[in-house]
Structures are given as structure tokens and as C-alpha cells.
């Protein structure tokens, strides 16, 4: 059985803005990395069921990089995204109005190569970076 990992963050912005910053490629490239020594130089996002997400993630020094790719299983505008990554793992992100802004919650299937806590910390760092970007945009 695959372990599921959940992360969340409350972003002090309206849900429509949060959705846009989370999904539009011109915004994705500004936040989709866990630390300042990484970057996301390009992103493509066909935001519909059957559409493809591709975001290039790489170390700024050029030592390592990869394409994060997935196909959307479900897209409910301003509310929810569900996708399957190229390795078959699944993830779901929801957007919910809460006091003070929008709660962004993601649950994803853990991969088998790295400890679950390392994966949780990495995905949470990216979501924290998203919050920082979205609140300053």
C-alpha cells in the first residue's frame, strides 16, 4: 500500500488569485522550487482533465535537474486539481476559503526512493515558497 502524505498552507489572498498564481506558467516559474539554490526556468500547464503539466526544476549551478510531469485526472476551477505523475503516483490539491485567505492542501502518494519525511518537507517547502510568492505578488 502506498503511503499518502499531506501538506497545507494558508495564503492571505482570495481563492481566485491563489488559483491563478498556482496554475499559470508565468507564475509557476517564480515559486516552484524548495530552496533558493534551485529554480524553475519553464513551465507548461494545460489545465483540463487529460491536460499535461510540465515544470522544469533544476539546481541553479546546473548540477542536477528534472522535469516534473503529470496528467490531470480532474480539474474543478478554483476548487480542486487531481493528477497522475509519470511514475503513476497521484496527487490532489484543494483550494478552500478560510478566515484570512485560502487554504491550499495537497495530498500525494509517496515515492519509494526517499524517506516520507524528506518528501513531506520538500513538498511543504515548495508550498511555503508559493505562499511567499502569492502574498507578495
Query: 74-86: per-residue pLDDT in tens?
Result: 999 999 999 999 9
- Contact residues for 86 (Cβ-Cβ < 8 A; gap 6+): 69, 70
* Separation of alpha carbons 8 and 95, rounded Å: 10
pLDDT tens by residue, 80-106:
999 999 999 999 999 999 999 999 999
CA 107, chain centre distance (Å): 10
The reported pLDDT for the residue numbered 52 is 98
In this predicted structure, the answer to whether residue 2 has a pLDDT above a threshold of 90 is no
Cβ atoms within 10 A of the Cβ of 125, count? 15
Q: How confident is the model at residue 1 (pLDDT cuts 50, 70, 90)?
A: confident
Alpha helix ranges (H) inside 24-115: 25-28
Amino acid at each position: 500500500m502506498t503511503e499518502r502524505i499531506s501538506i497545507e498552507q494558508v495564503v492571505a489572498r482570495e481563492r481566485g488569485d491563489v488559483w491563478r498564481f498556482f496554475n499559470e506558467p508565468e507564475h509557476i516559474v517564480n515559486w516552484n522550487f524548495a530552496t533558493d539554490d534551485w529554480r524553475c526556468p519553464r513551465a507548461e500547464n494545460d489545465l483540463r482533465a487529460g491536460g499535461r503539466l510540465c515544470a522544469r526544476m533544476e539546481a541553479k549551478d546546473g548540477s542536477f535537474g528534472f522535469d516534473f510531469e503529470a496528467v490531470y485526472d480532474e480539474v474543478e476551477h478554483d476548487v480542486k486539481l487531481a493528477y497522475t505523475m509519470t511514475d503513476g503516483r497521484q496527487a490532489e490539491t484543494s483550494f478552500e476559503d478560510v478566515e484570512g485567505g485560502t487554504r491550499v492542501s495537497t495530498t500525494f502518494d509517496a515515492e519509494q526512493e526517499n524517506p516520507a519525511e524528506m518528501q513531506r518537507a520538500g513538498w511543504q517547502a515548495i508550498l511555503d515558497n508559493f505562499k511567499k510568492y502569492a502574498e507578495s505578488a
